[in-house]
Chains A and B, each alone.
Chain A
């Protein structure tokens, strides 16, 4: 089957119906698209195998260069030097940018990258462009990701000698549903079908479950229940999960995540070395981009070295007449980044609290991801969890291995030796609810609910003879509705006139194992046995972008005329 290298498929490719086809004809591959590095793995029949590119690399830099007619990514392209990635022609860190609007602080922080990221701060997509022959070629994170995924797919297809269609992707915990749709769309553009999107630490948890299961088999011991904390910090994101593992089943008890990572450490240190660097480089001529690239590489190098040595000498000529010559020691690095480390600590503590697990109950503490080599990170996890760190995993490959295991399990593959006798029971990383009680966010499915999940709440009208109500669906944990991600909205119309508080509006939310969210709403009047208007069922999200002003415009136009309040349950 000769597929074009770049196919654009419609959104319908990623609908839940298709995901649910009863038999998966092939083993899905696992892909870990990291902010800085990517990898692909597959269950080869007896174990997980990482695929290598033609240069024998298992981990490939995540970037796409727009230098020539055809953009090329980090899978096939050979960088002559690290600096080549920083000439303005290459787009990277797309995982930090995907699905974000230009009011997002993460997008603002990305303005310091050596390509163009412009923001207007009005809640639309940021303008992202690569410098090609002195012309800014505009692109989107999805496009960049899709080009990269095509390369990964081709690489896997060549090695496995079969077409690849189904994939399991690992994603950060803090991704909103918008970002997930963007990822799915990028996959569809690359001709890939997303079987599961798996939060990274849960992929690691699955690998852990398999390792524990293997140990039980080997020692013939009893498979007791084990509680583990998984801390995963890469270049772009930091995730924490608490998993309870027994008999090959990994139950995710709690998830926490934030968009902090190595990139922040890098930028903080760059700012430390050259306090006004953002200003210096704001014009983005060729020379500025070059200097920015040089500083970036030097700083990155220094951070890597600081993992193994106490101090490092930075000596870099920025090419514009200025030269940075400085010794940075580990303590300095930790001070510059103390906010990042504090955030990491708070994520772990929050996750343990959410899971209602005490540090003393933990069996293992697993630290993975690129930042796991940083001594401060290791120490802070150790001190919170009061445990030595788990040693049985490669920190850079754990997530992709877990994704490949999930790929095999969800493809219906079984293993004669029981190595695939595994299951992940996921939990929802963010609460989902609707706007009600004024401008409040009322969660219907709270954070960390076991998936698949279905919950419902009863609401009622706020005005007499209110015929329409607006169901505005949000995702998040903030109390105020607009501080959460708007997922979509729909109207229930034709409610028979009745005094306020009389119609019973039942809103039910259903999340299936592939994370598809459906929202159902029905209206009852006292005494009637049938819903008075047809039940609405909506697959979310429905809004195209996370435009904050959508909600504002709704509010401006309709005020409280379509509002809802919760009904107090009599117990």
Chain B
């Protein structure tokens, strides 16, 4: 038990995470962690992004206050998608992370330790920390949005309007916690104060999509080697293209279904099969985005106390 306990602990404490990085001969690519396997095989390194902390709850797609049953179900669902039996060898790294997260969250004492190591922030704000802003007062046509890609983490906005903006310590950038949490003047000052002009006024309708897209998303399936989290470089563009992609998804799914039948019937060239498989993974990713968006469009999320 000791042997299994130690690595878990390492993962949950950020300061020890640099143990991984220190083995990394190619520091430019990842400032936090490079997987062992990448030392051996670098072909999967696509769009690698740095990340500061692995969040088990986000990995499993559950909230921090979810019960054992929810965690188990989420784990099984993800395993069914990414286990190497199903996704092939590419699912290996991701499944390892899933197993690690599950191992911790399923055991009461380990989970408590983990929650504690995540800092008091998580306990205090619970769900609201997970990236979406809530509203104070009536809904307005415009809303504030921080482009986390541009944010340099200067804390100016938090300083000027501390009820509206919070610093996401895990990501190292500011974000909106409560829309119009401060009076208009304070908000104006804070927007002005931003040295990189990363605080934008956006339409309320766009906000959900933007806030969803700006959160680092788990890179699905084949891309997990690169560290597992990414966000679009330009969220505004990404938001526009998302609807287009969703439309394409429907088309592609039917295409992919055809491809699947082909695989079953006869053994086609391996290249074709691989193309089908990668297309499928890509499509599933859009499918997941769509699933995540659905509850947001159900508007009641806006007022979350």
Contacts and interface: CB of A to CB of B under 8 A. Distances in A.
Interface stretch (B80-88, B148-156, B295-303): B80-88
Interface stretch (B92-100, B135-143, B202-210): B92-100
A510 B23 CA distance: 16
Contacts of B96: 452-454
B103 A410 contact: no
Contacts of B273: 22-23, 25
Contacts of B264: 413
B95 A452 contact: yes
Given A450-B99, A530-B22, A535-B23, A457 B3 contact: yes
Given A23-B277, A453-B96, A446 B3 contact: yes
A442 interface: yes
Nearest to A431: B3
A424 interface: yes
A271 B83 CA distance: 49
Contacts of A449: 4
B76 interface: yes
A455 B4 contact: yes
A334 interface: no
Given A530-B22, A535-B23, A442 B3 contact: yes
B260 interface: yes
Given A443-B3, A444-B3, A22 B268 contact: no
The B interface, classified by DSSP as helix, strand, loop or mixed, is helix
A22 B22 contact: no
A26 B9 contact: no
Contact of A20 (B3, B89, B267): B89
Contact of A512 (B73, B84, B86): B84
A512 B89 contact: yes
Contacts of A513: 83-85, 89, 91-92, 95
Contacts of B36: 454, 508, 510, 520, 535, 537
Interface string A3-29: 000000000000010011111011000
Interface string B87-116: 011111001100100110000000000000
A569 B118 CA distance: 20
A531 interface: yes
Contacts of A413: 264
Interface stretch (A56-64, A146-154, A246-254, A380-388): A246-254
Given A409-B86, A457-B3, A513-B95, A247 B73 contact: yes
Interface residues of A, number: 56
A571 B23 CA distance: 22
Contacts of B25: 530-531
Contacts of A453: 96, 99
A501 interface: no
Interface string B263-297: 11001101001101110000000000000000000
Interface string A407-423: 00110111000000101
B121 interface: no
A457 B86 contact: no
A514 interface: yes
Nearest to A504: B19
Contacts of A537: 36, 39-40
A240 B254 CA distance: 44
Nearest to A19: B89
A448 to B, nearest CB: 10
Nearest to B222: A22
A416 to B, nearest CB: 10
A569 B90 CA distance: 32
A514 B91 CA distance: 12
- Among A409, A450, A452, which residue has the most Cβ atoms of chain B within 10 A? A452
B270 A21 contact: yes
B169 to A, nearest CB: 23
Contacts of B267: 25-26
A514 B4 contact: no
A67 interface: no
B119 interface: no
B9 A455 contact: no
A414 B83 CA distance: 15
A524 B22 contact: yes
Contacts of A412: 86, 88, 263, 277
Contacts of A301: none
A529 interface: yes
Contact of B274 (A23, A247, A410, A514): A23
- Among A457, A508, A512, which residue has the most Cβ atoms of chain B within 10 A? A512
27 contacts: A21-B88, A25-B268, A26-B267, A246-B73, A246-B76, A249-B76, A410-B86, A421-B80, A423-B83, A423-B85, A443-B3, A445-B3, A446-B3, A446-B4, A454-B36, A454-B96, A455-B7, A506-B19, A506-B23, A508-B36, A510-B36, A513-B85, A522-B23, A530-B23, A535-B36, A537-B36, A569-B6
Interface of B: 1, 3-4, 6-7, 9, 19, 21-23, 25, 27, 36-37, 39-40, 72-73, 76-77, 79-80, 83-86, 88-92, 95-96, 99, 102-103, 260, 263-264, 267-268, 270, 273-274, 276-278
Interface of A: 16, 19-23, 25-26, 196, 225, 246-249, 251, 406, 409-410, 412-414, 421, 423-425, 433, 442-446, 449-450, 452-457, 506, 508, 510, 512-514, 520, 522, 524, 528-531, 535, 537, 569, 571
In order of increasing CB-CB distance, the 8 nearest A-B pairs are: A20-B89, A23-B273, A25-B267, A513-B84, A249-B76, A22-B88, A450-B99, A410-B85
Given A452-B95, A530-B23, 8 more contacts: A25-B273, A246-B76, A414-B260, A446-B1, A455-B7, A512-B84, A531-B22, A537-B40
